[in-house]
Structure 1
Amino acid sequence: MVIAEDSVLLRMGVLRLLADEGIETAAAVENGDDLLGAVTEHRPDLAIVDVRMPPTFTDEGLRAALAARAAVPDLPVLVLSQYVEERYAADLLADGRGGVGYLLKERVADVAEFIDAVHRVARGGTCIDQEVIAQLMARKRRNPVDALTPREREVLGLMAQGLSNVAIARSLVVSDGAVEKHIGNIFTKLGLEPSGEEHRRVRAVLAYLER
């Protein structure tokens, strides 16, 4: 077993819980780099990983878990966190290899439930908190392209074909100004901040293609 948790109290608490159940911990670390080193060295039956760890406390834990699964194929990973980091959680759960769990710390009802999850994931099963599932399903349903009007989606579709503003205006039989207004609305609804017109067009098209 390897534990990756930046809070020393939580790290030692989980270590003690596992020890009380006769589960040996090969390493208990506080950051993603050390997690990767530990799983590569020890090849554990399971890695228990927090999401937010040093240095930025955003998504280092999940990114390290994905890297660990790549470095040690079929490494079981149990994420134990206060947060649902949707993007990387979806990547972790979607690889189809099993041996993965995601529990929210405040929703673990008792020690027996946690230990059961540890054994289940270590055996190659899954254990996903219902709140995690709900948030990931909501993320799947949310697509900013869906907020566009039919005309804006039409404009974006023509952008995806590589048409210029002038060509789009000619195709839709509207003015150049109308096309510029539609494209401005598209950028706003897709949350694309000003960073160069061409760059935003590419990002908008990618959002359209991923829909």
Structure 2
Amino acid sequence: MLRYGENPDDHNVVATNFWYNTPWSNPDIQVQEYNPELARQILEEAGWIDEDGDGIREKDGVRLTLTWATNQRRLRTLVQAVGQQQLAEIGIEVQLVNLPSDIFFGSYGDGNPVALGEYDFWEFSTTPGSFPDPNHVYWTCAEIPSDDNPSGANDMALCDEELDALFQLQRTLADPDERREIFFQIQQIMHDNVYWLPMWHDPDLYALSARFENARIAPITQFWNSANWDVSS
């Protein structure tokens, strides 16, 4: 339903890793298990208990409330609503935030609240890139936005020295197979630590007239070769 009736075999796919559906994707990584009972157990063991019986857990007087931000794209807001409901079932309160795209995708220098770290987690989609270099700017310590680096892309502010070392190592390798093995290690670390939770594979679908010539759709933009477009008579 959330995918507007598209063929589920083609499009309703949950990505397994950040570089899913590229040559860099680790085939051994599976979708994170949906296990509410295990989640409840982990929360209990960590001391998060629903002490007042209102359905939301507390610890040391702090209510377990998280903020989930995204833009106003309808599909993303629907996913937010489902996630809010599922997290409430295990005792986590989620406050939903929907920002205009120019703010949500803005930079640290623009005062973007996502880049400033004002939300606990946020939902977006991106193109991970392929050959020759997969996109990894979201994951390096040097890309954390700050006053000294307002254009940094790592809005998660994640700094994992092991990941940084592996990203640096793969840049020194010329053999694609060796680089791929390094990216397999990177993805395993990201999966084990749940640094990023894939929720779906977000396709861009285009319908082109048979008269529309020379269009070559690319992952980033459909307009990259628009100078070559033509319409036959």
The alignment's TM-score, normalised by the length of structure 2, stands at 0.24
Higher relative contact order (CA 8 A, sep 6+): 2
Larger helix share, 1 or 2 = 1
Larger Rg: 1
